[in-house]
Amino acid sequence: MENSGSQGLFARALQHIPGGVNSPVRAFRGVGGTPIFFREGAGPWLTDVDGNRYVDHVGSWGPLILGHAYPAVVRAVMEAAQRGTSFGAPHAGEVELAELVSRRMPSVEMLRLTSSGTEATLAAVRLARGFTGREALVKFEGCYHGWGDSFLVKAGSGVETLGLPDSPGVPKTLAQLTLTLPYNNLEAAKALFAAEGQRIAAVILEPVVGNMGVLKPSPGFLQGLQSLARAHGALLIFDEVMTGFRLAPGGAQELYGLKPDLTCLGKVIGGGLPVGAYGGRRDVMQHVAPAGPVYQAGTLSGNPLAVAAGLACLKALEEPGAYARLEAVGRALEEGLLAEAKAAGVSVTLNRVGSMWTLFFTPGPVYDYPTAKTASVERFGRFFHAMLEGGVYLPPSQFEAAFASLAMGPDVVAHTLEAARKAFRSL
Ligand code: KE4
């Protein structure tokens, strides 16, 4: 094919696709250079259209917790496809997936499948507004919940990476209904609820943030928010699109022992195919049409191929020791990267929870949006490209999470650390 390398394909893509990509954060705007076009993935490896191989620490931004082309997932999708790709009608897989999620996340008594995380968070917020009869939404600075209007107020991920002001096109009257708080600041949350609690429909947050880079919740922060929301009749929405099934079988809510009123899911639940979901308390979910008046729909919601991939992925995660292995890989990368940075005299902070981590080019600590912003985007960019030279593909943004997978063995960790040893010395 004409111009079939990354450079040529990108030049062609720019003619017909805004920014040459179908999602902004892929465009390398946060690190400079031309985005890489990939041809295939296998286990922990990605091969680009020019034949270069990389260890993949992006994992499609979280879904590929098993690694690329996991045999059971590929088989499930192929078998489902031979029975037809979509019915637009109920099928058994949807029931099995809903039952499995409820077993893993007891707070999710009922759930509705969507085709993306954004649809899930949009629906959850509409449901919270419909259920409570209130309109205000509380979110945290730097958290990202997809590209819905109400969320693009001081958002993270690509909005932060691109340094975009709150997005044009979001009606001011709607944006004014989104109240923002500093992450990990329970005092600020208490003050806001004291002043505005009676009009707050919900508070939504990433229980472990991935979209400022990885930020851990301070001790008591999540529990305090849960109590605050309950005391003021607002719903607590955990956006576990990134953390769900990744940080523990039952996600962050299992890890931190919380019971949100609603949970949003995505990424891992689809095993690399388009699946999102929102769910939670039965009395709340019974307000969703057609059981109740809150409308939400989707032509391909619960798509048989996507559900088959998700079921195969979640079942593979039931393998004994799977989460211990994810923790071990995460720890080996953390310890190795910090050791190599120290040996090279480069000042960094590494935040990690289980298999999601971010290396910040700042002395740290990094625990909220302002401290995340002290990281050197310029240094991260140089490190990113030096790691590419070493055959390692990191998320192309200082404000994103890297994801370890079960496909990563000691050889992959060693390859990553060898590339890091050289990359740190090149800064
Ligand atoms: P999607 O609509 O992209 O499936 O999910 C939106 C979303 C919601 N909530 C959280 C916590 C998320 O992390 C995301 C999406 N994450 C980004 C990466 N930070 C997806 C990558 C992209 O935008 O291309």
SS3 236: strand
For 222-261, the pLDDT digits (tens) are 999 999 999 999 999 999 999 999 999 999 999 999 999 9
pLDDT value of residue 167: 81
The Å distance, Cα 44 to ligand 1 centre, comes to 21
pLDDT value of residue 14: 98
183 has catalytic annotation: no
Least trusted range by pLDDT, from 34-43, 59-68, 169-178: 169-178
- Shared-domain flag, residues 27 and 76: no
- Shared-domain flag, residues 87 and 24: no
pLDDT value of residue 49: 97
Q: Is residue 1 part of a domain?
A: no
For 169-199, the pLDDT digits (tens) are 988 889 899 999 999 999 999 999 999 999 9
pLDDT value of residue 394: 98
392-393 and 178-181: which strand pairing?
A: unpaired
Q: Which of 29, 159, 211, 239 to mutate to test the pocket of ligand 1 (most atoms within 8 A of CB)?
A: 211
End position of a domain, from candidates 316, 332, 351: 316
* Domain range for 370: 6-65+321-426
**16 exposed, middle or buried (CB, 10 Å; 0-12, 13-18, 19+)?**
exposed
267 has catalytic annotation: yes
pLDDT value of residue 153: 82
User: Of 183, 256, 267, 393, which one is the catalytic site residue?
Assistant: 267
pLDDT at residue 160 is higher than 80: no
**91 exposed, middle or buried (CB, 10 Å; 0-12, 13-18, 19+)?**
middle
pLDDT at residue 2 is higher than 90: no
pLDDT value of residue 157: 82
Please tell me the distance from the alpha carbon of residue 331 to that of residue 325, in angstroms, as a whole number. 10
- Shared-domain flag, residues 242 and 312: yes
End position of a domain, from candidates 273, 301, 316: 316
- Shared-domain flag, residues 54 and 169: no
- Shared-domain flag, residues 224 and 201: yes
Number of domains in the chain: 2
For 122-140, the pLDDT digits (tens) are 999 999 999 999 999 999 9
422 has catalytic annotation: no
User: What Å distances lie between residue 81 and 123, 137, 277, 382, CA to CA?
Assistant: 28, 40, 22, 43
Q: Which of 259, 147, 275 is nearest to 211 (CA)?
A: 147
- Shared-domain flag, residues 187 and 224: yes
Q: Which atom of ligand 1 is nearest to the CA of 156?
A: 19
Please tell me the distance from the alpha carbon of residue 286 to that of residue 294, in angstroms, as a whole number. 9
| Amino acid at the residue 198 | Q
Give the CATH number, domain containing residue 422: 3.90.1150.10
